[in-house]
Amino acid sequence: MVAADHASRGAADPASWRTPVQVLADLAEPAVVVLASDPLQRVERLFDDDPGLRHVVLEAGDAFHLVDRLHLDHLRRERPWPGLRLHRRTLLSQVELPTSVVLPSTTPVDQAAATVLGRDATASLEAVVCVDDHGRPGVVPVRRLFESLSRTFARQSVLDPLTGLPNRLHLMNLLDRRAPSTPAALLYVDLDRFKDVNDSYGHGAGDAVLVEFAARMRRCCRSEDVVLRLGGDEFAVLVPTDVGDGALLALAGRVVAAAAAPFTVPLRGPDGAQTGEATVHVGASVGVTHRAAGRGEDALAAMLAEADAAMYLAKDQGRGTVRTFEEARRVAEAATDDRPSRHTIERRLREALDGSTSSRLHLVYQPIVDLTTGAVVELEALARWDDGVLGTVPPDRFVPVAEAGGLILELGRWALRAACVQAATWAAVGRVAPSVSVNVSPLQLVDPGFETDVIDALTAAGLPADRLVLEITEAAGVDDLPRTAAVLHSLRGRGIRVALDDFGAGRSSLTLLRELPLDTVKVDRSLVSASSGTVADALVLRLLVEVCHGLGLRVCMEGVEEEVEAVRLTGLGADTGQGWCFGRPAAGVGADATTGTLRALRPRPPHPEERGSDEFVVAVDREGRVVYVSTRAFDVLGFLPSDVVGRPFGDLVDEADRPVVTVAGRCVMGPAHAGGTVRMPHVDGARRWVSVRPAGGPERAPGMDAALLLRCRDVTTVVEAQHRLREAEETFRLVFDGAPTGMALSGLDGTIQRVNAAFATMLGREAHTLVGLRVEEITWPEDRAVDEVHLGQHREGKSPEAPVRKRYVGHDGRPVHVEVQVSLVASADGEPAAVVAHVHPAPSA
């Protein structure tokens, strides 16, 4: 019999299922019950009398077994038991039956199906026995079980589990099933400022908004309208009938008003318990499209895209509004009509390069910062164009036109000259003046006059060659690697530095790092942001940094937007960083802006109450060197990853605990990698107790033989509490044992647990001979009744305030007169747990 005791517990806990799940009781058929003492003949008669009967249930004490018609036929015809041929007088208890699956009737259908599929059975299973709360069995055919499960899965596949609304798949099914000529309308709804709710109050609050908004949308719509959640904060309403434009816009207006009303969301603490409520405000932008009768199949397929386009127009025009697809189409057509032609851009750009007063090219500069000091070490020159006719033209518009129209060489020469002139004005204050970096097109690198253009720009500005950095893209190396390498070798021979820009954004290859003469690799934002995810992502970026450093290259991280990101990248070993965290591109950069420290990257370690987590992860190689540390280490110990990467893990551990962490040359904790608790120094000089456990087995890391991941957790509070407890116990022991008056500790049942020497001396006995005796055994017989009364009071939490006179039995059998003052010892929940008796000698009456 396969029993699943956990099934009933899971079914009884509604929190364990996101949506109601059908249980076995809903599918069960009444069972025909037979007993183990019944003959086989009775079962055969039951099957003969009812040809539709497939199963009966055998009850044997508290157990149930399924008796199957086909199995009995098989036993009679094919497998007589040795020494016992089956005949009509054979008892059911003598028949071997296949393993049955017996489950509580409250077991969910999907859990029952999993039990059936996971059983170790030697024969096919046609039914499951389910038992209700009264012990009555029923039968669920396996075929019916899986049919029900398939219907449940089909239903769940088209429902959103959070709101219970139909999902995008359901919408597409509805659209596909509708005839092309059937009129219909669609509203595409997107919540405004919803991300602010998640960021400010957590995803639990965001979920509460989504659930409440779904309910409001249902109330806004008619019964025949289909309200759907498409995903995230996007909803839709399918109006399946032909309604006028006025009614459709009125419906959309009601949806906007429903989203504009305040939402009350729960606030929860770190343990998930609700700590209060907050009122939040969002909004909704709605796009509307409709298909009139007679429109073709292509319009049916385009409805969702049309409504989406209208919704984005509503967002662009202020949010909290309704826009139709017709409006979106007119706006798109107008934008297309206003878009300048490529020929116009090329003509105006040529005029700008010729010095036209109505078209101005200029450079802006974005700082590149040393991540360990915050000092500006370089500024990247970025071209900008403001035209009197075209307005502001972004680089991704005019640079491709310049490359296609043959203007890129002239544009490149202008940028080089202007950047070198500007950089020559940057003075050094106490250190080397910052360099300037200029982007170079692949077309410039293949131009025979490019090297001359660079030298002329440096000479005309009077800028030292080592303060110019040329930034090339991956495409420059991939298109013609030998020629590119030759040009760059020549330039680097003159002292000019070279950086590979946007590494990781396209067809990145480590071959470029080896074959091209480079000084710096600038890592694209896509790789930088990915490293904030899993440990594996961070290890990949760390590996790239190590490869670059191994080749003698510096590493610059692009797109650094937040200080915490800068700290993390510093820990990974990056040299410099660039992004909005340090400054946006700006024109007119002067000496003051290029010589100061823009941002300190080592904030104060947080107070324990401010920490987001007490855990951090360390990866070590086979020699025990640290190759990766998560930035949570700063929260726990106050050090940056860059402080310890490359050092032995033992350096993080207090010297007295280091023998614990190294076994067979590997940095592990305790025998057989079992883990342990050690002291680690905090940067403030204190020591923290840290539990270190291997996070599973050794994990492969790119380029590493094997990395052992160690999960470290600050357990200082727990360890210190344990130390205080041990100290309190030691203090109690010293006070108790050394007290000059007699003391005895006993349980509420009167059993003596501990006595001191003074008490044992009063009775003329050894202390250890008294432990384990009951108080009544050493009490004078006439006093035992009063003692029992007092003990009963102690169990109720009461004790006499005045001393009690009583007699003990001495070692020689004579009474020992004493005065006893009792103190009660309470447990953690405040209930009486033990009795401490303070005993003083008293004169005999």
Q: What is the CA radius of gyration of the chain?
A: 41
Distance of CA 48 to the CA centre of its chain: 61
State the chain's mean pLDDT as an integer: 79
With bands split at pLDDT 50, 70 and 90, how would you rate the model's confidence at 534? low
**pLDDT given at position 155:** 65
Answer for the pair 269, 249: CB distance below 8 angstroms, yes or no: no
**pLDDT given at position 412:** 92
> When comparing pLDDT for 448 and 81, which is higher?
448
**pLDDT given at position 506:** 57
E strands in 431-493: 435-439, 468-472
* Spatial distance between the Cα atoms of 269 and 282, rounded to a whole number of angstroms: 23
Q: Is 747 helix (H, G, I), strand (E, B) or coil?
A: strand
Give the residue-averaged pLDDT of 423-431.
73
* Spatial distance between the Cα atoms of 713 and 730, rounded to a whole number of angstroms: 28
Residue 690 tokens, joined? 């840290």
* pLDDT of 180 higher than 60: no
Distance of CA 720 to the CA centre of its chain: 30
Answer for the pair 574, 539: CB distance below 8 angstroms, yes or no: no
Give the CATH fold of the 158-268+275-336 domain.
Answer: Alpha-Beta Plaits (3.30.70)
**DSSP assignment, residue 39?**
B
Q: Is 432 helix (H, G, I), strand (E, B) or coil?
A: coil
Phi, psi of 640 (to 5 degrees): -85, 150
State the distance between the two ends of the chain, measured CA to CA, in whole angstroms: 74
Answer for the pair 390, 404: CB distance below 8 angstroms, yes or no: no
Residue 67 CB burial class (10 angstroms; 0-12, 13-18, ≥19): buried
pLDDT, one tens digit per residue, over 242-297 is: 778 888 899 999 999 999 999 999 988 777 788 889 999 899 999 998 865 445 44
Answer for the pair 192, 320: CB distance below 8 angstroms, yes or no: yes
* pLDDT of 127 higher than 50: yes
Answer for the pair 564, 570: CB distance below 8 angstroms, yes or no: no
Q: CATH classification of 2-155, choosing from 3.10.580.10, 3.90.79.10, 3.30.300.130, 3.30.56.10?
A: 3.10.580.10
Give the residue-averaged pLDDT of 517-529.
85
Which residues, in sequence order, are CB contacts of 41 under 8 Å at separation 6+?
A: 88, 89
Residue 412 tokens, joined? 């490149």
Question: Which range has highest mean pLDDT (380-394, 454-468, 703-717)?
Answer: 454-468
Answer for the pair 47, 69: CB distance below 8 angstroms, yes or no: yes
With bands split at pLDDT 50, 70 and 90, how would you rate the model's confidence at 611? low
Residue 83's CB: how many other CB atoms inside 10 A?
5
* pLDDT of 450 higher than 80: yes
Instruction: For the chain, count helices (H), then strands (E).
Output: 30, 36
The pTM of this model reads 0.43
Answer for the pair 392, 340: CB distance below 8 angstroms, yes or no: no
Q: In b/e form, how buried is each residue of 705-721, taking b as 16+ CB within 10 angstroms? A: eebbbbbbbbbbeebee
> Do you know the residue count of the chain?
845
* pLDDT of 580 higher than 60: yes
**pLDDT given at position 495:** 94
**pLDDT given at position 505:** 64
Answer for the pair 443, 409: CB distance below 8 angstroms, yes or no: yes
Closest CA to 228 of 267, 189, 181, 272: 189
Which residues, in sequence order, are CB contacts of 386 under 8 Å at separation 6+?
A: 359, 360, 362, 392, 393
Residue with tokens 């003052």: 821
**pLDDT given at position 471:** 93
Residues facing 794 on adjacent strands: none
* pLDDT of 39 higher than 60: yes
Give the residue-averaged pLDDT of 795-810.
84
pLDDT, one tens digit per residue, over 743-786 is: 999 988 899 999 999 999 999 999 999 999 999 999 999 999 98
Answer for the pair 453, 440: CB distance below 8 angstroms, yes or no: no
Amino acid (one-letter) located at 73? D
Residues facing 646 on adjacent strands: none
**pLDDT given at position 38:** 84
Angle at 397 between CA 396 and CA 398, to 5 degrees: 105
Give the residue-averaged pLDDT of 188-206.
86
Name the CA dihedral angle for 131, 135, 138, 139, rounded to a multiple of 10 degrees: 50
Domains 608-721 and 739-841 share a fold: yes
Angle at 844 between CA 841 and CA 845, to 5 degrees: 135
With bands split at pLDDT 50, 70 and 90, how would you rate the model's confidence at 344? confident
Residue 661 to residues 624, 648, 665: CA-CA distances in angstroms? 10, 11, 10
> When comparing pLDDT for 169 and 135, which is higher?
135
> When comparing pLDDT for 672 and 531, which is higher?
531
* pLDDT of 664 higher than 50: no
Containing 145, the helix (H) or strand (E) segment is: helix 142-156
> When comparing pLDDT for 503 and 93, which is higher?
503
Closest CA to 25 of 7, 45, 13, 51: 7
With bands split at pLDDT 50, 70 and 90, how would you rate the model's confidence at 389? confident
Residues facing 376 on adjacent strands: 369
**pLDDT given at position 604:** 55
Q: Is 518 helix (H, G, I), strand (E, B) or coil?
A: coil
**pLDDT given at position 467:** 94
> Which homologous superfamily is 739-841 in?
PAS domain (3.30.450.20)
CATH 3.40.50.300 is the classification of domain 364-382+426-595: no
* pLDDT of 121 higher than 60: no
Answer for the pair 54, 144: CB distance below 8 angstroms, yes or no: no
* Spatial distance between the Cα atoms of 23 and 104, rounded to a whole number of angstroms: 9
Give the residue-averaged pLDDT of 486-500.
92
Percent of the chain at pLDDT above 70? 80
Domain ranges of the chain: 2-155, 158-268+275-336, 364-382+426-595, 608-721, 739-841
Closest CA to 409 of 382, 361, 355, 447: 447
* Spatial distance between the Cα atoms of 724 and 726, rounded to a whole number of angstroms: 5
Answer for the pair 648, 667: CB distance below 8 angstroms, yes or no: yes
pLDDT, one tens digit per residue, over 61-74 is: 778 888 877 777 77
> Which homologous superfamily is 608-721 in?
PAS domain (3.30.450.20)
With bands split at pLDDT 50, 70 and 90, how would you rate the model's confidence at 843? confident
